[in-house]
Amino acid sequence: MKMIAASAKIHPLSVIEDGAVIGENVVVGPFCHVGPKVVLGEGVELLTHVVVTGRTVIGRGTRIFANAVIGGDPQSVNHDGAETTLSVGAMCVIREGVTMNTGTTEGGGKTVVGDNNLFLANSHVAHDCQLGNHIILSNNVMLAGHVTIEDRVILGGGSAVHQFTRIGRQAFIGGLSGVSYDVIPYGMLNGNPGILGGLNVVGMSRGGMEKATIHQVRRAFKQIFEGEGSIRVNAAAIRDEYAGSEPVIHILDFIAADSDRALSSPNRGNKG
């Protein structure tokens, strides 16, 4: 049995399967297909030729453009057919041809996408990814499985992120970059293989960070990556010095956290 709010507008040429939950003021354009375990939140709009399938929840006000396929099975040879989930937050914009997959059993079973994110044409979010808020995936960005991306990250067109990689908040990934290793918060990575060239100073400034704080982060960056010890040893050594600097502590916590991947650095991947 369908649960369709009275205020929803469903085009007669679309298919809403029994069991789907359609919220208030949802708009479903022509030639869309909504599966039986899908929940569309208030004000969601599917423009045309959109497929939303699997056990998928789409948050309030999200707009999905033509030929997107949201909630498809994970593209994993280890997927055992178990019912897993995809959650997309509020006020996201999902452009033409975007694909997002549900999780895998071994990966926790959940792919999670936060609020106010922009996914440009043909970008891909694979199984078990965990995405924060205010993220931009430019055209043709590819996220492999189990990737974690923190808030306000921007990924340039055609960039690709290796499975299990983490990208810290407000980092910037240049177009066509290959992201094989974790990228620290506020980092700027370019190239293939990707090299951590410095900090996303422009993004930090546009985000409202004060100049004095930016200078603190830049000084800490040099201490971490140009110090005599290893990256983690250098990071641990300066923690007390920067105890009052929230952005630097974000970087230090990111470096100290457990991870399946090594850390990107100005030297890792540099063949020069």
Active site residues: 127-128, 145
* Contact in structure between 33 and 52 (CB atoms under 8 Å): yes
d(CA 194, CA 175): 10
Residue 251 identity (one-letter amino acid): I
Which single residue is written with the structure tokens 């990966």?
107
Q: Is the preceding peptide bond at 36 cis, omega within 30 degrees of 0?
A: no
Give Cβ neighbours of residue 181 (< 8 Å, ≥ 6 apart): 162, 165, 194, 261, 262, 263, 264, 268, 269
Contact between 217 and 199 under an 8 Å Cβ cutoff? The reply is yes
Assigned token pair, 48: 């045309």
Query: 163 and 144 in contact (C-beta within 8 Å)?
Result: yes
**What does the alpha-carbon distance between residue 110 and residue 139 come to, in Å, rounded to a whole number?**
24
Buried (b) or exposed (e) across 131-162, using 16+ Cβ within 10 A? bbbbbbbbbbbbbbbbbbbbbbbbbbbbbbbb
Q: Which three-class secondary structure string do you get for 36-69? A: CCCEECCCCEECCCCEECCEEEECCCCEECCCCE
For 174, phi then psi, to 5°, come to -70, 160
